[in-house]
Every structure is written in structure tokens, then in C-alpha cells.
Structure 1
Amino acid sequence: MKNSFFKRSDQDLFKGTQTKLTMKYSGLLLLFLLLFIVVVYTLLYVVILRDQHRELEGLTRQETRIISDYLAESARNELRGLSSQELVLAGVDQFFYYVVDSNGNLVMGSETMPHMREELLALVAGWVPQRNQIREETLEVTFRERKLGGEQIDNPPASVNVRLMIDGSPLFYNDRFIGMIYIGKDISFAYQLFDWLLIVLIGLAILFAGVAILMSYMMSKKAMEPISTAFNRQKEFVGDASHELRTPLSVMLSSIDALEMTDGVEEDPFARKLLKNMKSEVKRMTGLVSDLLMLARADSGVVKQSHELIDLHVEARNVIESLTPHAEANRIVFHLHAPDEINVIGDRERIKQLLYILLDNAVKYSPDGGNVALTLSKEEREWRISVKDEGIGIHPDEQVRIFYRFYRSDKSRTRALGGHGLGLSIAKWIVDIHKGTISVESELNKGSTFTVNIPLDQVVSKARK
């Protein structure tokens, strides 16, 4: 069965990077869009309200002049009896006007809602506005009449909030204060306009947000194309180079073995040491090439995965036996905790390789005289491998990255131990093709515990196909 995990992994990596780029591009575009909407809304808000201010101030000045001219023409020095005269004080959207004498008594006035006169008079009672001072008030208007702002209302609601802009001006006769005129203008339509404007701007924002995200996606996709191409070429090169290197390395290893059997090598310490070092390096290179070739095959989707019944306990003992000489050289002791028989279904060779990688890493990074514990268990829905060491530990910031290819947390130490940063990447691939998970818990200078959990049902069902 062909496996395409690494192909999916690469796709996920590129998709994740493209998604991040898309989010950054669209975030910038949306930020500018938001600033544009705020600026436009604020400017319109200020301009419209200032226009209403100017209209109300002009209306107040006009009606103040009408009253002043009337008093001058009739040679009246007081406002009493003014209501009986034929004065027309009315303006567009004028909700009310009141003229009061110097004692605050109402002389004349009119309002759109006569039943609200007391409430309206209470708003302006005793108010002497400063220069260019205009008030805004919100009133809950009840509809006893079918009229608002001079317009007929066919089906009025029980009540509605009306926004009023109120201005006032003192009245003088021969430089003597004789009263005040107050004018209220209905600006509810302006705030309705603001509400509709906000809805329109939000609608446009949603529309342009979609456009911005689409543009960002196209830009990020275009930016990722050369990176994806270069990455694919790199994978092809690694696969080709690994394949081509296997034969010369095998020849070199065979030649070194032949040289070791020649006469005189055993008696010459320098030649024996030289051949030993050469053999060790060739083996290390062979292991690296084998790992690279396997990853290259996995990338291309040509790695076959078999499913068979495995006694995990037996396989673990075999791996421990193969690593025992290496562990004993560093006085490291293996401890196996497992049932006498633990049967699971999986790829035998890959599971053995997984055990080897985890145990070999534990030995490499454990101090001389340390302990490495391998625990195997099987539960109702999954089986588990746990490898615990007493090594140097892994920094929390590096615990996610240790499963990346060629990543080494301590590069100098890893090189000294012969590592090349592919082991845990291969281990994760093996776990992933079995639909499992691998995690690490670690504390610096106290050791690490790698835990593998592989579900039983998914592997079994996959094996039956």
C-alpha cells in the first residue's frame, strides 16, 4: 500500500504558510478599509451635524430679528400681548418655538406635539445659552396626533424617540433684556441617515473584505509558487543523490572490510585505527543516506506499508539486544516493562525502526551509568510505547521542533554523538502512517519521556482493506 503522509505533510506546511500570508495581507487591507470607514463616517457625521447647527442658528437669528423688528415698529417695550399679533415664526423641521418674557412666563409659542408643551418648556426653563451654545436632547414622543415634523403619519407607533437640537437667543428692546426665544429643530432624520450610512458602510466593508481576502489569497499563492517549486526540486535532488550514493558507500565498506583482512594490518596500530575510523564514518554516512532515501521515497509516495500481527514484546527485546553493546559501552542499563505477550497489528519493520530510534536516542543523550526504561502497554482502544531516559532534557521551546527534519537542539553535542537530525522526523512519520500520535515530556537536566499512542481500530481496519 502506497503511503502519502509526507506529501500531505508538505502540502499542509505550504498551506499553513500560505494561510499565514493570506491572513497578513488581508489583515493589512482590512485595517486600511476600517480606517477609511471610520474617517468617512466621522467626516459625514461632523459635516451633517454642523450643517444642522448652522441652519438652526440661522433660523434663531431670523426669528429673533422678526420679533425685534415688530417691537420696534409697534413701539412696544414688552412682550405681553405679542401672542395676539399676527407673527409667523416657522421653519423647516422646526419642532417647537417659545417666546418667554424676562420672568420666564410663556408669551407665545407653537409645537408639533401640543400635548408635550409642559415637557418641552421644562427643557428650556431658565436656560440662557452662551455664545454658539446649542443643546441636543432626546425625547420619547407619544402619538396622540398623527403628525410629526409637519408630516402626516398614517400608522404611528405608540411612541418614538425624537432627537432635538435646541437653540436660544435673548430679546432686547433699547438695550434692555425683555425675554428669550427658544427654538427646537427635529434632527431625527439626520441620525436615521447615520444609521443607514453605517449599515451601508458595513455592507461595503463585508463586500470589500471578501475581495481583500481573495486578493490576499491570490497574492500569497503567487508568492508560494517559487518556494514550492524549489522545495520539490530539493526533494528530487535528495532522492537522486541518496540513491546514487548507496553503491559507492557499499563499495567503500566492502573495501575496508577487505583491507582489514589483509596481512600486516593487525600488527600496525595506526592502520588498524585508521581503518576503524573510516569504517565508522562510512557506516554513519550509509545510515544517513538510507534515512534520506527512505524520506525521499516517502515524499514521492512509493513506500509500501504492510500490516501483520506483531508481538511487540518480542520485537522490543530484539531491538534492546541489538543496542545492548552500545549501551554497555556507556554503562547504561535498559529496563523493559511489558506483558509477556502484547499482540498488535502494524508494519513490523517500521515498528522495529521506531523502537530503535527512540531507544538509540535515549542511549545517546543519557549520562554514563544512566537508565533507560521502555514501557509497553495495550488498552481497549490503543497501544502505547513509552521510552524514558535520564538525559539532558529538551527545552520547552524546542519540544515541537525536534520532530522537524534535520533539527537538532544541541548541534555540537548531536554531531559528536553522530546524529544528523532525521531520527525523530522518521519516528513521527512511522507513527503518523499508523494513525497515531507521538509526544514528549521533558525537563532540563532530568530527562525526557517519549510517548507513542497508536489506535487499534484504525490500524486493524486499514489492514483488512
Structure 2
Amino acid sequence: MSEEQLFRQTKLKLAGYYTTVMSLILGICSVAIYQIEAYNQKQSLHRELVSIAGTLHDGLEPVLTRPGQIEPEVERLIPNLCIVVTQCHSLGSVPRIHTLSVFAQSGYYVNFWDLSKTLIATTQPRLNSNIEPNSAAPFLANHHADVYAVTLKLKTVNGQAWGYLEVGRSLEHSQAYLQTLLLYLSIGYPIAVLGIGLASWWLAGIAMQPVADSYEKIQQFTADAAHELRTPIAAMQATLETALTSEGNTNPEKQGMFQTLHRQNLRLNGLIQDLMLLTRLDLNTTPPHFQPCNLNVIVSDLIEEFSAIALEKSIVPALIAEDQLAVIGNEEHLYQLIGNLIINAIHYSPDQGEVDISLQEHKHMAQIKVTDTGPGIPDDAQARIFERFYRVNQDRSRATGGTGLGLAIAQSIAQYHHGHLTVVSQIGLGSTFILELPLARAHPIWPGSSRDQSC
């Protein structure tokens, strides 16, 4: 994964996490606001109806003389009262001595029930809840689909049980208010989430900037350090080679010491070269020099180059090529990329093991598979196998002279060529490294490439 892709994905994850958490909190708050407002509406309506019912109760009981009978004084107190048994006759000349202000508004109604729970009179037949009153408790709330009501018992002026009074109100206004609130929340929530997402992306960029700057400084330091080490390492190499070839140096002990230093110096020089290459690929400062390259030729050359090493372990690498595959790339880098995979397979395969290399076209990509019969890679290590300086087996890697940069370099080169490198492995059954690169016909002309050149 390139530096740009790494930081973009990290930035995207940070923004995604922040947006998800904030959206969840905002969603919970929106639901809570709706539920609280619905509860407040219900409680407010309940208190209002209880107050109205209490006022009517206090005004009615002094004029009630017979249980279940509507007195003329009741009709004067409550306007538009419909006596059910007389099919809602008109009050005619009965003067109205008292009218509660709420009954001038639409949506309110009053019902009178006798002791047998039969409806006697009502002010709004259309809003009748048709819910029989319950004598278990005063001010009992009756919540129907379209109305909300409270009931309480009435007594006559002599203290006898008269019946029940029900005061209710239509929920149309309350439901309309809640639907409007729900509409605003439904429209506002996605807009708020979009705003949170944009703000999260901006904040994630600000948070990632110091990390990106530090990462770039580390890369630059690595490049500068590797570059500065080249001169003293080259001087040491020249001095050791001179000492090894000097005719006056006949002491076997000194020869062995110089040879050890020479080997370690070569290893250190190789490590420096690898670090410089990785840094150039990360900083994208390597000149492209892309040209058409035949993968069949490259793989054949590498098999021949490593044949001596393979024969020492009685291994004969086998090449299976279905087609002639060509890609646009840097010849030196492609040799190093595929060579790292082949030499890695040879080193980790046991004596008389098998190393198979296959070339084929797969989904408009040139696919190279390098399979070995080595010990395999654990599942938890497969995710880290392409990290720098990571070794699955420390002792074995050091015995083969590895630095832990081979697969990291291979992955960087693959990504530099717009390809990717993956591994499939099982313990005891070996490993298969799969390299996929864009075919030449898929990218006929790349920056820095030329058609008159060939690997």
C-alpha cells in the first residue's frame, strides 16, 4: 500500500468512526426528543382535562338531585349538550348561565353515563370515545385511537351516586404536531449526518497532518542516512578487498577475520541499497523508465540465474506458462520483484522440495504464482509478511542472510507498477505468492515508457 493510499484510508477510517458515533448519538437524541415531546403532550393534555373535569364536577354536583337524570341546570352549565334519549333536542329557550372557554374550541367533548354505564348525554357525538368508564379510580384516563379522556364519579346533592362524567379531547391537533416534529427530524437528521461527515473528513485531515509530516520526515531521514552511509561502507569494502588480496597477508586467522568482515560489509551494503530503494519508491522519486517487458523472458532468466542455488538443495524450479505475457514496467525493478519471490521460495523449501512458477492471464491482469513446499506461514503472520524487517522465523531468516526487506520491497515494486502481491499459505503445506500486474495492452502508454524499447 502506497503512502498516499495508507493515509487516505486512515483518514477515511477516522472520519467514518467519528461520523458513525456522532450519527448514532444524534439518532438517539432525535428519538429521545420525539418521545419526550410525545410524553409532554400527553401529560399536558391529561392535566388540562383533569382541571376541566374538576371544575365541572364542582359545578354539577350541587344541581344534581336524582341519579342518572340530567337537570335543566346541567344544560345551562354545559352548552350543546345532547340528551341521547330525546335524540339531541334543542335547548330552545333554556338560558346558558355558564360556559367554559374550552368548549368554544373544537375537539373537546363531555359525556354523562349513568350507574349502569349507559350513555345519557354528550356534547360531541362524533368524538365519543365509546369507552365505558371504570369506577376503580377517580380521574381514570381513557386513551382511544383518536381521543384522550378522563372520567370521574358524580354524586347528587344528597351524596348519592349519580353516575360518571367523562371529559375528552380529540388527539388530532396533538398528532399533527407530532407528525410535523417527526417530519422535521426526518429531514434534519440526514442533513445533519451529511454535515457531520464533511466536518469529520476535515477534522480527520487536520488530525492526520502531523502524522503525515512525521512519516515524511522519517522517510527523508532514512534516505539521507542510507545515502551518507554509502561512502564509508564503500571505503571499508575497498580496504577489505585490498587486505584480502594483499600478498603480504598470509596469516590464516587474519584472512578469516577479513573474510567475515567482508561478508558482513556486503550484507550491510545490500541493506543500505534496499532501504534507499524503498525510500525512493515511497517518495515516488524513482524515475519510471517504463518499457514493454516480457514476463516469460524475465522468469526464465531468473530460473537460470538461481539454478545453482536450487541445485544445492536438489530443487528444479518448474515453469508453467500458458501464454506470452507482457507488461509495461521498469526492467530492473521487475527482475528484483520476481527474483525476490523465487529466491524466497528456494530458501524456504526443504531439500528435494518443489518450486513451481506459473504465468497466466487472469481478469485482464498478468498473474504470476510462485509456489513452494516450505513450512508455510501462520495465519496471524500472513497479515504482516509484507511489513519491513518482519520475519516469520528469526533464526531461519538470519541463516539465509535475509534482512526482512525482501517481501516489503516486492510489495512496494508491485504497487509502484499498479499491481498487487498476496500470499496464500497453510502450515505444513507450503506457500503461494500471487503477483498480478496490468498487461501491456491494458496500459499501452505510461509516463516514461516508450514503444521502441523492450526488456
Contact 2:327-2:366 at 8 Å conserved across structures: no
Contact 1:95 1:186 in 2 (8 A): yes
Aligned-partner Cα distance in 2 for 1:198–1:387: 60
Superposition map of 1:267-416 within 5 A: 268-329=251-312, 331-339=313-321, 342=324, 344-346=326-328, 347-378=330-361, 381-416=364-399
Aligned to 1:152: none
Matched with 2:120 is 107
Residue in structure 2 matching 1:189, options 170, 173, 178: 173
Q: Does 19-28 or 173-182 show the bigger shift?
A: 19-28
Report how many aligned residue pairs link the two structures.
Answer: 422
Tell me whether 1:12 sits opposite 2:5 in the alignment: yes
2:248 is the counterpart of 1:235: no
Residue type of the alignment partner of 2:369? S
Asked if the contact 1:129–1:169 (Cα under 8 Å) also holds between the matched residues in 2, the reply is no
Identity of aligned residues (%): 25
Hey, what's the Cα distance between the residues in 2 that align with 1:376 and 1:411? Answer: 31
Find the aligned partners of 1:46 and 1:215 in 2 and give their Cα distance. Answer: 34
Query: What SS does the aligned partner of 1:333 have?
Result: coil
Contact 2:278 2:412 in 1 (8 A): no
Q: 1:309 to 1:52 in 2, by over 3 A?
A: closer
Q: Which residue pairs with 1:151 in the alignment?
A: none
Q: Any residues of structure 2 matched to 1:91-106 within 5 Å, and which?
A: 91=103, 92-106=105-119
Q: Secondary structure in 2 aligned to 1:376?
A: strand
User: Shift of the alpha carbon at 1:354?
Assistant: 1.6
| CA deviation vs aligned residue, 1:79-130 (integer Å, no higher than 9, x gap) | 33537963332634544322122233333222162xx7xxx46x22364352
Moved more, 221-230 or 51-60: 221-230
| Unaligned residue ranges in structure 1 (runs of 5+) | 1-5, 139-162
| Contact 1:83–1:108 (8 Å) recurs in 2 | no
Q: In terms of mean alpha carbon deviation, does 304-313 or 168-177 score higher?
A: 304-313
Quote the residue 2:87 is aligned against: none
Q: Deviations over 1:12-33 (max 9, x none)?
A: 2122222222233344444443
8 Å contact from structure 2 (residues 386, 408) kept in 1: yes
Per-residue CA distance 1:414-453 (angstroms, 9 max, x = gap): 3443322322222123323333332211012321001122
- Following superposition, the deviation at residue 52 of structure 1 comes to 0.5
Deviations 1:20-60 (A, max 9, x none): 22233344444443444344333333222111101111122
Q: Could you tell me the TM-score, scaled by structure 1's length?
A: 0.80
Distance 1:278 1:438 in 2: 35
Which segment drifts farther, 217-226 or 43-52?
Answer: 217-226
Correspondence for 1:78: 67
Q: Does the 8 Å contact 2:133/2:164 carry over to 1?
A: no
Q: Does structure 2 retain, via aligned residues, the 8 Å contact 1:94–1:186?
A: yes
Tell me, yes or no, if the aligned pair for 1:342 and 1:378 is still in contact at 8 Å.
Answer: no
Residue 294 of structure 1: how far off its partner (Å): 1.6
1: CA distance, partners of 2:8 / 2:362: 35
Provide runs of 4+ in structure 1 moved above 6 Å.
Answer: none
- Please name the residue that 2:59 is paired with: 66
CA contact (8 A) 2:23 2:193 kept: yes
Match of 1:128 in 2: 135
Measure, in 1, the Cα distance between the counterparts of 2:240 and 2:203. 55
SS in 1 for 2:368: strand
Do structure 1's residue 49 and structure 2's residue 42 form an aligned pair?
Answer: yes
Distance 2:135 2:407 in 1: 82
Deviation (angstroms), 1:405: 3.1
Tell me the SS of whatever aligns to 1:124: coil
CA distance in 2, matches of 1:79, 1:374: 102
Asked if the contact 1:309–1:343 (Cα under 8 Å) also holds between the matched residues in 2, the reply is: no
Decide which of 206, 219, 235 is 1:222's aligned counterpart.
206
Q: Which residue number in structure 2 is paired with residue 144 of structure 1?
A: none
AA aligned opposite 2:41: I
The equivalent residue for 2:231 is 247
Task: Provide Cα deviations, 1:263-299, integer angstroms capped at 9, x if missing partner.
Answer: 365x644333322322221121111111111222223
Match of 2:437 in 1: 454
Residues 376 and 268 of structure 1: is their aligned pair in 2 closer, same or farther, counting only changes over 3 Å? farther
Q: Give me the whole-angstrom Cα distance separating, in 2, the residues matched to 1:22 and 1:198.
A: 28
Q: Output the amino acid matched with 1:64.
A: H
Give secondary structure in 1 for the equivalent of 2:339: helix
| CA offset digits 1:224-256 (Å, max 9, x no partner) | 222211111111111122222223323322322
Deviates more, 1:246-255 or 1:285-294: 246-255
Write the distance in 1 (CA, Å) between the matches of 2:322 and 2:118: 106
CA–CA distance in structure 1, aligned partners of residues 108 and 204 of structure 2: 57
Distance in 1 of aligned mates of 2:244 and 2:324: 43
| Equivalent residue, structure 2, for 1:24 | 17
Please say if residues 435 and 458 of structure 1, whose CA atoms lie closer than 8 Å, have aligned partners that are also in contact.
no
| Cα 1:294/1:106, change in 2 over 3 Å | closer
CA distance in 2, matches of 1:63, 1:232: 81
Question: What is the aligned-residue RMSD (CA, Å)?
Answer: 3.0
- Give structure 2 stretches of 5+ with no counterpart: 80-102
Equivalents in 1 of 2:256, 2:140: separation in Å?
100
